Structure 1
């Protein structure tokens, strides 16, 4: 403790010197354009693969080490339609040999006519049980909570384009995956900011139980509305991990109530939620929030 106090006092005295302060401020100012260039040109094209294991209660043995790849928030459109970047992502996903691929919404950027070329690209992803998707708020043309659709996006056009390329859109739907006579559910909801969010049509109540259930819900804030429903793991996106994360401060603003849910794995209401940082952006800039492919393996909970 005394050593820490001495170091702190030394740094305080050092900072009091005008020359040192001038050097620090100069470096900060000079660093701004470099940080801006990195955020615009470099980080949006880097790819991070996050690997983790998630314990699931009463997971059937045939589904032990069941591998889920999650991607989110591609925002494919005018400022974000690099085919080479998406093909690079797909190569990385295929190398991981997933059992299923979960795509958690916000595919479009401003216009749904990009849905067909995007679906064609995504159909190159390979998995054992298939590709599953849900829609995010931008796939309905909704940009802000509580506001009507403002962008020319037809969500039915997005659904049709994806399903034409064998990507199952779980728009308030549930499917059952079976392996060696055992079953798990994969369910998906419409976006939380729209009238298409209908958990009662898809999920059972907690007291009813069910097969182990993986839920796709674009907005992590929806977890509060789902606390009375049964599922084991919720996969979300929406927040881009904060997108611009300043050192020691974090993001200045995020489009969710629960800031801590903007990225990563959390345990909420006695179930898991993972928020993927996404692969795309609305405005081309990322800082301390690398585009993400998540690779999850389900394991039986011992707790």
Structure 2
């Protein structure tokens, strides 16, 4: 018995829609964009105008041979400082990280590079009995090529225009990344690891997991940079990401910039994927941030 024509039409449309969405997911998993934000602050000196690139969550993905497409995109932005927010590799036993290193080793030729760990690096660091010397080897590669690695540490970076950045790399234990739960991370936990923000500098906090954004804001950073959520895997226009790696729905901070009082929060959608290789309306991104002195006109 043949189906009535009125039933065939929805079936055909469903097949076409599935094919279109599958093609779009494939496209987004193999490309990236540059997302540009403007940030202003009264804490910067007269004439301050600095460009920062933020890279996060590459997960050893590769865009062209030796990640050349990605490196060229970085160069074309002419950044003054590159900040790396962690999870550039995949923290699983036997997983290689050559694609990540192929990019990272070239970055110091562009400008200074500061790196803070994500949960994948932290996993390797905390369990040498599983990962052998993988973390130490990876760390050595980063340091040997001139990258500054912050493990619950801070660094002052003076810029030619008189701007002074204090960059802080927050490192939280793997237990704060468990599925379907949030750890009770508070301001005091950041103070124990990092001390206090520096009053005479513009404070940038690299905090991989935006699930603890309230604590990061309470700590007092001027700019907070996070990743981890991969944009929520699937994004709904006007709403944002749908789900986090920890299983929470519709996270507030997921793949955008928010200004909250005198603080700015930027969460990268990341550059790669792993395990759940899904991206829909959620193109991977290099985040380019132009930071300038706030003028009376912008108040």
Q: Place the TM-score, normalised by the shorter chain, in its bin.
A: 0.7 to 0.9
Structure 2: stretches of 5+ with no match in the other structure = 178-184
Match for residue 180 of structure 2?
A: none
2:12 is matched with 26
Aligned to 1:220: 210
| Partner residue, 1:72 | 56
Partner of 1:199: 190
Equivalent of residue 263 in structure 2, options 271, 274, 292: 271
Whether the 8 Å contact between 1:98 and 1:126 is mirrored in structure 2 is: no
Give per-residue Cα distances to partners, 1:87-113, cap 9 Å, x unaligned.
Answer: 101101101110011111111212476
User: Are 1:50 and 2:35 matched, yes or no?
Assistant: yes
Task: Measure the CA separation in 2 of the matches of 1:92 and 1:39.
Answer: 22
How many Å separate the matches in 1 of 2:265 and 2:80? Answer: 19
Question: TM-score, with normalisation over the residues of structure 2?
Answer: 0.78
**What is the distance in 2 between the residues matched to 1:85 and 1:176?**
31
How far apart, CA to CA, are the structure 2 residues paired with 1:182 and 1:50?
Answer: 23
Tell me the equivalent position of 1:290: 283
Go from structure 1 to structure 2 and tell me whether the alpha carbon gap of 1:82 and 1:92 turns closer, same or farther (over 3 Å shift): closer
CA distance 1:24–1:203, change in 2 (3 Å) = farther
- After superposing the two structures, state which structure 1 stretch, 112-121 or 271-280, moved more: 112-121
Q: Is the 8 A contact 1:185 1:212 kept in 2?
A: yes
Bigger CA radius of gyration: 1
Whether contact under 8 Å (2:233, 2:242) holds in the other structure is no
Residues of 1 paired with 2:107 and 2:146: CA distance? 11
Q: Find the counterpart in structure 2 of residue 166 from structure 1.
A: 146
Q: Relative to 1, partners in 2 of residues 1:31 and 1:96: Cα closer, same or farther, differing over 3 Å?
A: same
Contact persistence 2:54–2:288 (CA under 8 A):
yes
What is the 5 A alignment of 1:1-303?
23-40=9-26, 42-61=27-46, 64-76=48-60, 80-81=61-62, 83-84=64-65, 86-109=67-90, 110-111=92-93, 114-115=96-97, 118-126=100-108, 129-141=111-123, 152=131, 154-179=134-159, 182-191=163-172, 193-194=174-175, 199-200=190-191, 201-204=193-196, 209-245=199-235, 251-255=241-245, 259-268=251-260, 270-282=262-274, 283-302=276-295, 303=299
Q: Which runs of 5+ in 1 are unaligned?
A: 1-17, 143-147
Normalization by structure 1: what TM-score?
A: 0.77
How many residue pairs align between the two structures? 274
CA distance in 1, matches of 2:152, 2:49: 27
